[in-house]
Amino acid sequence: MKKNEVSIAIVKNAENQFLISLRPKTVHQGGKWEFPGGKVAANELPEQAMYRELFEEVGLQAEDYQLLVSKFFDYGDAALNLHFYLVTQFSGTAQGREGQPIKWVSKAELAAYEFPADNRTVIEQL
């Protein structure tokens, strides 16, 4: 089983809302909500991947961020080494650049959305 390195941006705006997007039904954990992010490319640092993926997926550029936590998660069919970054300052206007629905939700509202299991413990830490 292949182990993938994945970087994730948990973007928090000035109103203390978090940016989430809906995963396409055709991908692993499809139909669930997620924070923007994706695989770390060869010769790329996790921090660089977070920055690149955030811009590619939703058009935001991270300006102030910190590594919140790194954790390993095994789904059985996929093993992921996840790097979660909390982004508190950014430029740009969020938009679903890959056609995916996006929305800003409060911390309390996050519980109403179905996320991949690997996101649950991180959401509890926010």
Residue 2 has pLDDT above 90, yes or no: no
Residue 83 has pLDDT above 90, yes or no: yes
| CB atoms closer than 10 angstroms to residue 89 | 13
- Token readout for 101 is 């629905």
Whole-angstrom distance, CA of residue 23 vs CA of residue 124: 21
How far from 4 is each of 1, 58, 110, CA to CA, in Å?
Answer: 10, 22, 25
pLDDT tens per residue across span 28-81: 888 999 999 999 999 999 999 999 999 999 999 999 999 999 999 887 877 889
Could you state, in order of their start, the residue ranges of all structural domains in the chain?
3-125
Q: Residue 55: which residues within 8 A CB-CB, separation 6 or more?
A: 61, 92
DSSP code of residue 78: -
Whole-angstrom distance, CA of residue 40 vs CA of residue 51: 11
Instruction: State mean pLDDT over 11-20.
Output: 98
pLDDT confidence band for 16 (50 / 70 / 90): very high
| CB atoms closer than 10 angstroms to residue 95 | 12
* Mean of pLDDT over the chain: 93
- CATH fold label, 3-125: Nucleoside Triphosphate Pyrophosphohydrolase (3.90.79)
Residue 3 has pLDDT above 80, yes or no: no
